[in-house]
Structure 1
């Protein structure tokens, strides 16, 4: 288990440091007695302080390892081996277990706090154990799922407790994959057979800036689905302090509101206050339309507001007059 390895490595380097100090003291035998005595006393004080600083952390790691036994990844990858096709992609954070029990790993799948596990190669960061390419965002995760069948092997602690996966990744996992196996905390997900793939890039570019921290890059609209699927592409330009609510209004030619949807991004799974600067958030929305819509062209007006004050974020170069981005719809949409 990872915690045992970390603790053992820490003790190893501590012992090597002590050994080096004793070798240095031995080299001082040609000096005066009082000099050797002073050097040894200083060394004892140094190592005493070092132990006081290091041992509590090592003890904490040992307690975590004792209380959190490693899930049975051997059984999880055995299940994958028995059911996967040869060209199915394998995604996991535990790449060493995948190599050992499955002899296959395609991506090192971890979204957040990944730096400690990565080697930063110029072409693409890879994991430290097998050199598997890093899959580090929900959009990249979604892109892999759109290319073919895939398996995602993880455990409950890494998925929900340690902060390795954020709300947009979890939402993609929930809509695009299904849990097919679980035992003692180990989890296996497989691509849903009847899923509606989420677009990975906007079909129409808007680049509407809301406030100083959020940009609506664009959207994709699939009117063939029932209900129609609108996918919004947001980018966090800076850190966002509040959790904003999205409004989407369906308007007729006279700008009358025919339907309205108010929601937080990803139905509350990934509030704006958790978005990381520079991150693109893919946000699918099901537009449940009212029956007997009147004939004529219509459009969507959308933006964000603070639920506590109902104040909308200002839209740069606003053409709507109400701090909203406009999406025209064809008559048949």
Structure 2
């Protein structure tokens, strides 16, 4: 019976994992009583003579293994680290500005959020209890919230594939604002959107018309300013067009480089904050893609190059850039503008 208690849930977890991939090892804590009882049953005969030394060694081995696992759980890095929701909220509290608000995707996080809630920030839960994200009222709700708050923090708790499989929240925020930050925390991911894009509408300013990998074309770009001080945010809009169906999900890079080639601002993301990946693009479709690059406080005044492009995250290989008119190969990046960093 104890063996079944231990093994059956393990087999079920293994079987369900491909279907419900959002799984953490700590979910198996309910098996701990069976594990320790079986370990005790195995060690008990060895604690009698003449097996006492062997039993003692086995007990020490069991304690050492448990101590190692607990040290990783409480102080390690990576998959064994316990939930970081509190640290994530501390990060929000340390970096929030007056007027910011939180969008909490997945209402199941309400109890833990109320415990770690940053002071002074409004919070809005999605999906709403009375209608799903796909409902047109979601867009109206988001527009009303964005009209009240210049910056919105999005917290996606748990598995977004369960409550927002189409990426409705991220796509709306990325198409109406500019993504300034993205970070993964155990059990959740956090993004910051500045709800003022560099440009509005579908007209394409600053035409470029350069092809990337024969699959996508950068039609043009828009900037909110050509001068920026250290610590300030530069808003960039890129206008893409698919040339052919794409099987891969490419990541867009946007970098502000100083004269020595050092990054002074950077945002890498799938298009529209990850809400509209390239493998969904339709040939001929215009994709307006917003970014917010916060300049390093240590940036030295002077000209900085703003470069963009695309790469495949799995290999880090960039798409080659080509001028379709001349046929010239232009490397693996596009320098869209020179931005002057000025003294505060």
Same fold, judged at TM 0.5 (above): no
TM range (shorter): 0.3 to 0.5
| TM-score of the two chains, using structure 1 as the length reference | 0.42
Q: Which has the larger radius of gyration?
A: 1
| TM-score of the two chains, using structure 2 as the length reference | 0.41
